Amino acid sequence: MSAYAGDVAALARKDLLLEFRSRDTLPAMLLFVVSALTIFHFALPSGSSERAETGLLWIAIVFTALLGLTRAFAAEREQGVLDGLVLAPCDRSAIWLGKTIGVTVFLVLAELVALPAFALFFHPLSWDLVAAVALADIGIASIGTLLAAMAAASRARELLLPLLFLPLAIPVVIGGVGASIASNPGSFLGFLILYDGVFAILSWASFEYVVTE
Amino acid sequence: MSTWLPSEDRRGPSLRFGPLFAAAAAGLLVGGFALAFYWAPEDADQGFSQKIFYLHVPIALTAYACFGWGAWKALRLLWTGERRYDLESYTAIHMGVIFGLLTLVTGSIWAKISWGEWWTWGERQLVLFLILFLFYSSYFMLRYSTDPGPRRERNSAVYALFGVVLIPVSFLAVRIAGTILHPTIFTHEGADLPWQMLVAFLVCLAGMLSLAATLYRVELTGKRIDASLRELRELLA
Amino acid sequence: MSTAEKYVTGAYLVLLGSLLVYLLIIALKVGRLEEELADLARAAREKHSG
């Protein structure tokens, strides 16, 4: 059990260190999300409701996540490292968990900039929204890591990942926006927890089938 | 070189009982629709337009059944590794998408009669099917853009499993979305169904499921022959 | 025919139409499979006698 945890920690640390040294994914995500918010301002005619603005925030989160996910296995592919990882004497699902933790950290870091930027550009945020974003990050990272591995096997990976990801992201957006604007966000936050639980377990269990040759 | 001709593997669903399924489909469907139009009473609130119910809901439930069947075959593939399950899963999902499309079309017509709009976000069943239709269409994108082989088979199987889990999750999501985001003003759920309507409905449902089973076997046999011919071609080249 | 009757009939016609289109697609497929089988039979004979 502790060997498993050790593998996961090592894999997550590898991803984060790689990013810290090369600094190519995170700055792009940060810039993307702020650009997106700026475009949203121009896309919304004046007098648009706060609810519409909140909805757009969630779109920005989903698409920024997509941007980050496309990079999730890019590094491995470029160096043919994924094969090596799969041959490593560790449980394949540990690869999933390590990667998912890495992706979650990326998302959180991106949102540490995105949420204050949103509050600055549009309107103040509620703690429910922050909680919803945190929960959504887990769900998005879980399925995103799995789908990125799936798309890596195809000929059109940059195009395929968004296609596979967006239908699955619809419930996340529903839960997130609902929690952000409802007077009683409890059921929406509960739903997000359910989503995270169900899809994280499914992704964890099925990752090895997706990554084996 | 060991060759695997799909047509030689006789373990899966085949056309051996094809005529039986086809006869059942024809009888139950025609009988069901006859019951619906000639025997079942007309709905007090919706009038004659309620008759679409006997078409639309069986098609919707059959689509769900196809997706579930596809997910079951996918699970068997991952479990046992037998290649035939890939074709069986793929065909089931193909059927599901066709029935799903029919659900959206018939549901849209029903919406037009009931509320004057071809589409409404308030009708939960329609919205749920839109999400599933998008998801399973992406399934086909996954298959087309991945080269044939064990990798594609396993990826498709995992995605099919995700789909069947998405069904209840989306159902829940659309339901809670209805409370605050998009109010569900319209709903087809009426009061309790008179028993004659229920009987007619069940016959139509059985007929639709038999139709799907028949088409599934025909489609699967066709795909198996296709794959077998391709293998033969490689052998003879 | 009232408007409701027109739409209801239309919906059932959609089912009929879809089934017929499906039949058409299967017919084309069976034709193509037969041609391909004939091709392969020819190739097999050549290989056998060649």
pLDDT value at A1 more than 60? yes
Give the minimum alpha-carbon distance from B116 to chain C in angstroms, rounded to a whole number. Answer: 11
Asked whether the beta carbons of residue B102 and residue C3 sit closer than 8 angstroms, the reply is no
Question: Chains with ≥3 Cβ pairs under 8 A against B?
Answer: A, C
Calculate mean pLDDT across residues A8-20: 80
**In this model, does residue A146 exceed pLDDT 80?**
yes
Name the residue among A174, A212, A213 with its Cβ closest to that of B173. A174
| pTM for the model | 0.89
All residues at 6 or more sequence positions from C19 whose CB lies less than 8 Å from its CB, including other chains = none
Chain B interface test: which of A170, A184, A198, A201 (most B C-beta within 10 Å):
A170
Average pLDDT over residues A140-153: 92
CB contact under 8 A, A155 and B150: no
Cα separation, B157 vs B77, in Å, equals 7
Tell me the pLDDT tens digit for each residue of A169-185.
999 999 999 988 887 88
Percent of chain A at pLDDT exceeding 90: 37
- The pLDDT, as a whole number, for residue B1 is 42
Dihedral pair phi/psi, residue B43, rounded to 5°: -65, 140
Which chain B residue lies closest to A184 (C-alpha atoms)? B180
B49 or A109: which leads in pLDDT: A109
SS3 B103: helix
Please name the member of B55, B215, B229 whose beta carbon is closest to the beta carbon of C40.
Answer: B229
pLDDT, position B71: 96
Q: Measured between alpha carbons, how far is residue B216 from residues A94, A139, C15 in Å?
A: 38, 35, 16
What pLDDT is stored for residue B49 in this prediction?
A: 80
Greater confidence (A97 vs A183) lies with A97
Q: Which residues contact A28 (CB under 8 A, 6 or more apart)?
A: A67
Whether the per-residue pLDDT at A204 is higher than 80: the answer is: yes
> What parts of chain B have a pLDDT lower than 50?
1
Q: Which residues of C touch B105 (CB under 8 A)?
A: 11, 14
Higher pLDDT, B83 or A23: B83
CB-based contact, A136 to chain B, within 8 Å: no
B162: chain A residues, CB-CB within 8 Å: 143, 168, 199, 202
B226 contacts C26? CB cut-off 8 A: no
Rounded Cα–Cα distance for residues B89 and B74 (Å): 6
Averaged over A160-176, what is the pLDDT? 94
Smallest Cα distance from B184 to chain A, Å = 15
Instruction: Please tell me if residue A49 touches chain B, with a CB cutoff of 8 Å.
Output: no
Percent of chain C with pLDDT over 90: 58
pLDDT at A137 over 70: yes
- Rounded to 5 degrees, φ, ψ at B136 are -75, -25
Q: pLDDT tens digit string along C12-41?
A: 999 999 999 999 999 999 999 999 999 888
**What is the residue-wise DSSP string for chain A?**
-HHHHHHHHHHHHHHHHHHHHH--HHHHHHHHHHHHHHHHHHHSPTT--HHHHHHHHHHHHHHHHHHHHHTTTHHHHHTTHHHHHHHSSS-HHHHHHHHHHHHHHHHHHHHHHHHHHHHHHT----HHHHHHHHHHHHHHHHHHHHHHHHHHTSS-HHHHHHHHHHHHHHHHHHHHHHHHH-S-THHHHHHHHHHHHHHHHHHHHHHHHHH--
For the four alpha carbons of A133, A139, A145 and A148, in that order, the dihedral sign comes to negative
* Residue A44: pLDDT over 90: no
Q: Given this model, what pLDDT does residue A69 score?
A: 86
Is the model's pLDDT at A205 over the cut of 70? yes
- Mean pLDDT, rounded, of chain A: 86
Contact assessment for residue A81 and residue A71, using Cβ atoms and an 8 Å cutoff: no
**Lowest model confidence (mean pLDDT) among A101-110, A133-142, B5-14:** B5-14
List the single residue in B131, B138, B165 with the smallest CB-CB distance to A198.
B165
Q: Is B132 helix (H, G, I), strand (E, B) or coil?
A: helix
Q: Do the chains contact at B176 and A153, CB–CB below 8 Å?
A: no
Phi, psi of C21 (to 5 degrees): -60, -45
How is residue B118 annotated by DSSP?
Answer: S
How far, in Å, are A58, B205, C17 from residue C12 at the CA level? 41, 15, 9
Contact B102 C11 (CB under 8 A): no
**pLDDT (0 to 100) of residue B189:** 57
